[in-house]
Amino acid sequence: MMDPEVSLLLDCAPWSGLREHQVQVELSDRFNRQTDPLLEQHINQVWTERLSKEPWLFNGAKFRLHSFCLASPENLGCFQSDCGEQQAGDAAHRPGDFINGCTLQTEDGEGVSQKISQPKHRPGSVLTLRLGLTCYKDYLGTNWSGEVAELRRRGQEEFGNPLALLAQPLGVGAVLCTCDGQVVFIRRSQKVAEAGGLLDIPGGHPEPKAVCERLGEAAGEEQISLVMMQQRPDAVVSELFSSICAEIRDEVNIPLSSLGAPVLMGIALNHTSAGRPSSEFYISCSLSSHEVRALYWKGGAEASESTDVVFLSTTEVMQLNRSNPLWSEMCPSAKGAMLLYQVVKPG
């Protein structure tokens, strides 16, 4: 099923999804976006204009997805991919596509091509995410900018990667399934910055600041650096998996004690924001849809971001496609998660 708004970069179907111990991260400034003075001037201009209209905006640090390395379940070979080649409608990367023969080429700050070596897989790990740092300000000035087509062209021309100049903050989202077989959706408020009024899944971003605080590193958002986290990449993985549970708690008002361990289904790309990536999880809930509805209407910490809670049975979700009227009501993040759920079939 092709939809121009969304595509799958990666699915974890061979494992029926990945658990936290099967994921690791590699952190490096090499994985940050490329830039130049003119681009920084443009980003600052966009940010200033947005702040004049929305003074409540907050420039938080985010993790930037640069690339990934996926081991093969058969022989632990490694398929490496950057995140700039996937187009809407393309099939997701799977470990069986390329084994031991695909080395990612990137560009360093001088524009010289360099190889990225295969990561050392921790025992039991399957997926390595290569992460740099970015921020919300950079996202608005690149992925969400009116100049994004030109930035993609320049990225391809100068670095061989159309996403090299883009922020590419890594998001998280969840297919949340109740004990009576219902998947939880929320209808986004008209006041949110993106996809107002559309059906969505609970989601947000893993926060570098939360990792630093957990490691005892006190820093403001703009002082956060990868150096603070490089000795404890496991803390970043923990934040990736725990942040989606926190989003469910804050958006749907479900206590963490009622949530099962997150299972990573894969990564979807949102083409309405220039291919922004999101890690999509499956999470079971010990509560019924009736109980979830009651908690939602009591209101959580981020209740203002949505106006209603909607339930679809797992059978209905498995049958969702572009011919279903509900599909057109869904924002790209929800569509990507539904596609992954249909492919991975977790739970």
Q: What is d(CA 44, CA 121) in angstroms, rounded to the nearest whole number?
A: 39
Nearest of 62, 67, 171, 64 to residue 119 by alpha carbon: 67
| pLDDT of residue 81 exceeding 60 | no
| Reported confidence tier of residue 286, pLDDT bands at 50, 70, 90 | very high
- Give the pair of three-digit tokens for residue 68: 């990934």
pLDDT digit string, tens, across residues 318-327: 999 999 999 9
Q: What is d(CA 344, CA 266) in angstroms, rounded to the nearest whole number?
A: 8
Q: 62-92 burial string, b = 16+ CB within 10 Å, else e?
A: bbbbbbbbbbbeeeebbbbbbbbebeeeeeb
Q: What is d(CA 70, CA 121) in angstroms, rounded to the nearest whole number?
A: 10
Mean pLDDT over residues 308-315, rounded? 96
Identity (one letter) of the amino acid at 323? S
Nearest of 42, 72, 49, 307 to residue 192 by alpha carbon: 307
**Quick one: pLDDT at residue 31?**
98
| Reported confidence tier of residue 304, pLDDT bands at 50, 70, 90 | confident
* Long-range interactions of 136-139: CB distance < 8 A, separation 24+: 136/57, 136/58, 136/59, 136/60, 136/62, 136/169, 137/43, 137/47, 137/59, 138/33, 138/43, 138/167, 139/62, 139/167, 139/169, 139/273, 139/276
Residue 227 near residue 217 (C-beta atoms within 8 A) = no
Q: CB atoms < 10 A from the CB of 190, how many? A: 9
Spell out the residues 6+ positions from residue 163 whose beta carbon is closer than 8 angstroms to its own: 82, 83, 84, 152, 155, 274, 275
CATH class of segment(s) 6-72+122-344: alpha beta
Q: Residue 297: in which H helix or E strand, if any?
A: helix 289-298
Identity (one letter) of the amino acid at 185? F
Domains of the chain: which residue ranges? 6-72+122-344
Residues facing residue 114 across a β-bridge: 106
Percent of all residues in the chain with a pLDDT value above 90, rounded to a whole number: 74
| pLDDT of residue 299 exceeding 60 | yes
Backbone φ and ψ of 220, nearest 5°: -70, 165
**Quick one: pLDDT at residue 112?**
30
Q: What is the residue-averaged pLDDT of the chain?
A: 87
**Quick one: pLDDT at residue 101?**
26
| pLDDT of residue 203 exceeding 50 | yes
Q: What is d(CA 154, CA 149) in angstroms, rounded to the nearest whole number?
A: 9
pLDDT digit string, tens, across residues 97-151: 322 223 333 333 333 333 445 555 566 779 999 999 999 999 999 999 999 999 9
pTM (global) more than 0.75: yes
Percent of all residues in the chain with a pLDDT value above 70, rounded to a whole number: 84
pLDDT digit string, tens, across residues 226-258: 999 999 999 999 999 999 999 999 999 999 999
Q: Residue 145: in which H helix or E strand, if any?
A: none
